[in-house]
Structure 1
């Protein structure tokens, strides 16, 4: 029994097609271009993920800063009522007035601790972004566009307007 075994060199040469160096160089260039494209795409996706992460962090920070906006907005009429009560009490000293002042100061402190700022623009220049003019009056003592009187104080939360101040402005 005699078996024929082809030589290893003969079988290897039969499986490998003849490739010239130009074909190999072209294939290498195509692979390099594909690799560069994949790298560029990976960098772009990484940048997109980084931008998305930054956007989510910014949105989360905004949500934290303004999470109590609704509650503070609902407290504004309470602040107005306390100020009206103090105005109605006049200059008379007494425990009721002292209690109202203390309560008002405490509420304003809580608001300030949470980013609430009171807008009391009397004597300042009228700013339509922060003030709402309800009337104009001639005033020889004030320059035109100056807030003469504040009917209702305004409030801002972290530089975002919650309620504009209702004001009377000097005409001119």
Structure 2
């Protein structure tokens, strides 16, 4: 009797197979349910996303094109401003160069004329204006000299005669130095040759003697 009772309590192999099959089916159904739910969620999300009408798509395209055109305009505007500034600078430099050329075009000619002025002044220094026989020569040479100086001044050529003035190394060239009683140091005590300027530019320094 004991043996029969034990066999009755144990599940048969067929029952175990059926139970396993049931478990597998249940899991499959659960997985399928999750897949279906996920698919339905995706479809719902796609359905919720609004679709644009042709007019709206056209407007969006035009807005993008407008933004791109505005960016291009901003870039071109900056380039134009830079180009205009460069042109203005070039025009200003050109005007300065032209003005400088006009002012100093006669520099070489003026320097050559200064030699004539120097010779006339030396000639006058050798003529005795008080002597009756030399008075006419003195007046003639002096008139020629004054006329030449006047002509040079019309073209902005001016003399530098620094007698008794402080020595200026930018305008004067010291040929020698001499100690003179009662005269302050660095004072021009003699002018050996006048200097000249053309429109404010030094074209020849004055050769001078300076006190110690």
Alignment TM class, shorter chain as reference:
0.7 to 0.9
> Is 1:59–2:100 an aligned residue pair?
no
How far is the alpha carbon of 1:32 from its aligned partner? 1.1
> Is 1:164–2:205 an aligned residue pair?
yes
Is the helix fraction higher in 1 or 2? 2
Deviates more, 1:76-85 or 1:86-95: 86-95
Residue 146 of structure 1 is matched in structure 2 by: 187
Choose from 139, 155, 159 the match for 1:114.
Answer: 155
How far is the alpha carbon of 1:24 from its aligned partner? 5.0
CA distance in structure 2 between the aligned counterparts of 1:20 and 1:72, rounded to whole angstroms? 76
TM-score, normalization by structure 2: 0.68
CA distance in structure 1 between the aligned counterparts of 2:175 and 2:119, rounded to whole angstroms? 20
CA distance in structure 2 between the aligned counterparts of 1:29 and 1:92, rounded to whole angstroms? 95
> Is 1:130–2:171 an aligned residue pair?
yes
**For residues 1-172 of structure 1, what are the structure 2 equivalents within 5 Å?**
18=57, 21=60, 24-92=62-130, 94-171=135-212
Deviates more, 1:31-40 or 1:122-131: 31-40
Deviates more, 1:127-136 or 1:25-34: 25-34
TM-score, normalization by structure 1: 0.83
Give the root-mean-square deviation of aligned CA atoms.
1.8
Q: Could you tell me which runs of 5 or more consecutive residues in structure 2 were left unpaired when the two chains were aligned.
A: 1-53
Residue 5 of structure 1 is matched in structure 2 by: none
CA distance in structure 1 between the aligned counterparts of 2:59 and 2:154, rounded to whole angstroms? 78
**Bigger radius of gyration, 1 or 2?**
2
How far is the alpha carbon of 1:40 from its aligned partner? 1.4
How far is the alpha carbon of 1:48 from its aligned partner? 1.5
